[in-house]
Structure 1
Amino acid sequence: MLMESTPAKTYHLFECIGIELEYMIVDKNTLAPQPITDQVIINKNGIITDEISNGPISWSNELVLHVIELKTTTPAINTFGLADKMHENVKEINSILQPYNACLLPTAMHPLLNPLTDLKLWPHHRNKIYEKYNEIFNCKGHGWGNLQSMHINFPFGNDEEFHQLHEAIRHLMPLIPAITASSPLYEGKKGKFLDNRLAFYEENQKRVPEITGRVIPESVKDKAEYEKNILQKAYDAIAPYDKEGTLQEEWLNSRGAITRFDRNAIEIRIIDLQECPKADLAIAELIVHSLKVLIEKVPGFKAISEEELYPIYRGALEQGAETIIDNLDYLKLFDGSISKPITIKELWKKLIAQMYLSEDSEGIIHYILENGNLSERIIKNLSKSAISEENILKEYHRLAECLEQNMIYHVR
């Protein structure tokens, strides 16, 4: 059943932004997942709760006990300064974890985690929701407990702004994993994809396919159409498994971008967590400016269906920025002069040429485009020797140090 929701305050396009970063807690030596998020919160807050405010950045729990989320406490005006604020909180949490011989680990997937033995669900507040998900979908899998991402929330003020923002996000989504993939390994092996997190994410709720759809959301013109074509279909599909209505909320929708009408925002969820906040926020800045470019074009283009967008997205998961796009209608949305197939990397360069990025962010994005996304850089460094557990641990210790120092992970 659809519930009417009214946001406490309405913001207009690009008036503010919300950022969420998810980190795994691991043993400092073995990097084994440590299910102690509740202990971190108790240490900081004195009592157990699912969220605590730490000034401009808040800490909260996730589905599993070894993941902690950092997020903007209130909407930020822009991305500037957020990397430093996030990093300050990373360092504080690492100091709390010191007596446990634990630390935070970046990237979107733990390379060695065994989901059958290493996952413990959050047992405290809101655990009924997590238990219901576990009952229906069995959350003992990589797609539930081994996926860390950055979520970006963008506001809209009315139906017109919603339509513009939603269409811009839909059409940008296929390009995002090509530069943000950071999940090349799982269970000690190189996966089929550069972005294995998103490949697992897509499989999570196959029992009720209406929840995830084609990851890229359907094109809709307003709130009423979104509720009818996306939300209500998901609610109807889950109802036989959720007779109490525990999951009949907007957040049930698991597409790669979801609309939250309770706060008039669209949340992008397909961005793998990077090696440090500096990299995460450079990507966030890139996405903000990319959407600004695309929104200007929305009134003049015909929306491309999720069925046509999906193969480009799927190619990005597997081949990254070298994926060739041969859909000329799609390419011309970004640059009307394009007349032949080009790679995602080439398309990103054409898009970046239409915007202004801060010097630091431009440098980071340029480094990613020329040296590969984080998955590609990890594999390049590992490929200098055998991909063994010993070498994986060495590389991911380097990544933990990148997080602690807020520095970019380089190809050696």
Structure 2
Amino acid sequence: MTDAQPTLAAAQRALDAETYDCILLAGFGGPEGQDDVIPYLRNVTRGRGVPDERLEEVAHHYRHFGGISPINQQNRDLKTALETEIAKRGLELPVYWGNRFWAPYFADVLKELHADGHRKVLVLVTTAFSSYSGCRAYREDLATALDETGLTDDLRLDKVRQYFDHPGFVKPNIDAVRSGLRELQVAGKSENAHVMFATHSIPSVAADGSGPRETRPDGTPVPTDGGDEWYAGGGWYVEQQRAVSALVMDAVADEFPDVPWTLVFQSRSGDPRTPWLEPDINDAINALDDSVSGLVVSPIGFVSDHMEVAWDLDNEALETCEERGLAMVRVPTVGVDPQFVSGLIDLVEERHVVDGGQPRQREALTDIGPWQDVCPADCCLTRSPKATIASAAADGGVGA
């Protein structure tokens, strides 16, 4: 496919709509009490040989919040919001919820929905962008759960496409950044404001290998002769987030023109010798010119205000700004914003039809999308150890 362009390549992997039995909301999972923290972290790092002493070093983030990650309650709230939107549209699709690393586990939920008589399942994953941790790892873990439960031949699981540039994801982020800039304006801090879009750092090799390999993000062909050049170009993970960040800033330019912005990274972990995506948000804050009057931080890479948002942004990044005497406004993730919830069900209606109905038209606000339904075998490959990827994804995963 040396002549393929990114949009065409994705469009060629769209599946025909059909009728499904239910929806599975797929999350990462998180501890819900002090006694859960180390068992949860053992689940995340299982098979990697990470000692409990090292896990306890990570656990202090959870200990600070009573051992409770907000992510499970946020997914409960999202499940309820989805059920309300589904009922409003008359779709009659029950919603189940399962996690990769904490209860309710994928395997248990698959057994439950199978016992309820469902056989064709449409999966909504709580990540918007393309990466190993944000897409492929979910598919692999669902496949493992099918195998463990013996339901591989009885259940069909189809995942909806990545939705980074769907209006339901982009528009709430536009509203949030606009609101943040207005807050700085009221405080008299908007004249020389800066916006930082924060997302999860991942190993550079994982970023370079994100997305399908037939073209680089700029549409130029990828060499087919192997070697490190096969991974060159930065990958789709970064390209998608840059594109969405640019969309957001273009949308607010009518009220706040010429505001500079930066894509920054957070939550790095793992071997310090391994190259990860940079700049870290705290380094980026410290590198800002003294003339910057105020900072808006948008956690664009995440769909809920889970632990990494609460700790890395609301604690560490805020402290860095306070040390500089810089006003900071951290705006919310999409969470259960009605536009986001409606957009997720729009994605469902791209794939689910009843009584010969027509599927919903696929929407995308960048030239990259609409993204693919079917991931090719070489999509989001990584040469990094899974231990590194899993540690990067703790409490929500990339984009969770």
Q: Same fold (TM over 0.5)?
A: no
Which structure carries more relative contact order (alpha carbon 8 Å, separation 6+)? 2
Which structure has greater helix proportion?
1
Bin of the TM-score, shorter chain as denominator length: under 0.3
TM-score by length of 1: 0.27
